[in-house]
Chains A and B, each alone.
Chain A
């Protein structure tokens, strides 16, 4: 049970090499579940090793419960870690694997037996205690690895991509179990993953990393609904957010984005006019589920007509791809819609959810937001 704070943590492997970690700054409360997520090579595993004490930091401080532990060796930090490869000691039985850390810490045998029994019961691995890791399935090894971490009742748990070696079905099961475990034990946890679904479902807080920099730190909802830049927006969400290059125009005190599907054009009203947006080329971001099918046929005033190019029925959804501004746009529609390649759909983009990004830097752009009622927001321009 502990708080964790990282203050301006830096990690570099020498001059001339780009820094592996740059000014990492975040703090989580006691019992919170922090997710470090990012593409491979973003420094998330390095950061985790630094927290564990397996790698030294080049600058800054790591605080556990307010105490600076940056200079401490791993064993004095009271941290337990679950590794991607599980890292079970292959020559030891499951029981000895779980008990190893306790033996090293010279606990009395009775206490060790009791602790192993408790953990085994918790993880339902009692029947496996005498086996060697090589005789276990991937999911069982995963449980034993977690058992080894649980046994010491450390201040902080670290999980380094613990589910990435499991098959898809087991991964979902274990994900739920980890969440359940955390809800029950309420131990401060840091969890590294490159899987954005794990990040969204497990975390109390999510830190999205890229190139050794935290791009955004917040709750999963903040990260999903209010991404700080195009990278975060593209990384979180599946299927990913659509990015359409658009030209903005100001008219009647509102900012309009011009969309062209080839079949028709429309101007999407995004919000009240703000300085410097007239005539600017930006990236418009919209998630597939924020695109819906306009009321059939109707007046067509608020809708963008577009020809279906690909359909991907996924089961719960029907993904439809159309082209807007020479860019593929993915729309997530209800699965019962019958639509064929070549059909023309009337699409409705939710202007309240549309995000704008700078075309060069990818940084998020904010309009002065006063979304008018939906009907007014879309001005239709005659189809070609």
Chain B
């Protein structure tokens, strides 16, 4: 009798699995490789070689030019994304706390209606949002864009936190109430310290959504207050002069870097956070 442990470490089927996985990895890497290679090539090099050919000379011209063009918009994006992410996460946490632990008459209906917000396409809220921003005097401002992102993101952040908090036993809140703690004390001292995984999930999700947003950016901002996604589009779609693919690629990579960074730093929480609710629930 041979047990499973006695089998050779490398079997044919295992080899096949690894080959397929490796192929998939390479396939997924191709766009990034193409972008990276193109961004460090000279324009002549791009014209002569093919997409995957190694650059004749590695140059940072493309990156320098791209940064000079989009750096202002990069900071715009940060000014929009950071407050929008923080505010929508904070409000979502508070909403979720109320909906999970301080049920009121009609709170289930309220939550149900809130869920609709997750299914609303961006396009449907454009007109009402622009009308509201106009009334508030926030049209074409960074603050206005932040407001739109916060409101649109609330449905998601509330859903995340609410679903996380329903897995926390009610008895915890009851115990704290008997200990004399009030609504905000319980939230701040007991519930929030338990929320690290879902806060991470929420931050990653909102950061990705808001940083990558194009439509709200193009509609609710103009000129110098535009986010980097819009600037990138303008850069790539420009019709004057020769196409500088190295600059386009470098600019695209600059636009994508912050999201990548967030995933690398906080990515482990993403899987853990999402499955934490799923398994316990």
Contacts and interface: CB of A to CB of B under 8 A. Distances in A.
A75 interface: yes
Given A89-B190, A91-B194, A81 B178 contact: yes
B251 to A, nearest CB: 43
A105 B169 contact: no
Contacts of A90: 194
Contacts of B174: 49, 52, 54, 74, 81, 83, 87
Interface stretch (B75-83, B117-125, B179-187, B261-269): B179-187
B258 to A, nearest CB: 30
A90 B185 CA distance: 16
A104 B180 contact: yes
Interface string B98-139: 000000000000000000000000000000000000000000
Interface residues of A, number: 24
A256 interface: no
Given A89-B190, A91-B193, A75 B177 contact: yes
Interface string B187-205: 0011001100000000000
B194 A85 contact: no
Contacts of B179: 75, 100-101, 104, 148, 152
Contacts of B185: 104
A89 B173 CA distance: 9
Contact of B180 (A81, A87, A101): A101
Contacts of A75: 177-181
B177 A54 contact: yes
Interface residues of B, number: 16
Nearest to A104: B180
A84 B175 CA distance: 11
Contacts of A52: 174, 178
22 contacts: A52-B174, A54-B174, A73-B177, A74-B174, A74-B178, A75-B177, A75-B181, A79-B178, A81-B174, A81-B178, A85-B171, A86-B171, A87-B171, A87-B175, A89-B172, A92-B190, A100-B176, A101-B180, A104-B179, A104-B180, A105-B180, A148-B175
Interface of B: 169, 171-172, 174-181, 185, 189-190, 193-194
Given A104-B181, A148-B175, 11 more contacts: A54-B174, A73-B177, A81-B174, A83-B175, A85-B169, A87-B171, A89-B190, A91-B194, A101-B178, A148-B179, A152-B179
Q: Which 10 A-B pairs have the closest CB atoms?
A: A101-B179, A87-B171, A75-B180, A91-B193, A87-B175, A104-B180, A83-B171, A74-B177, A87-B172, A74-B178
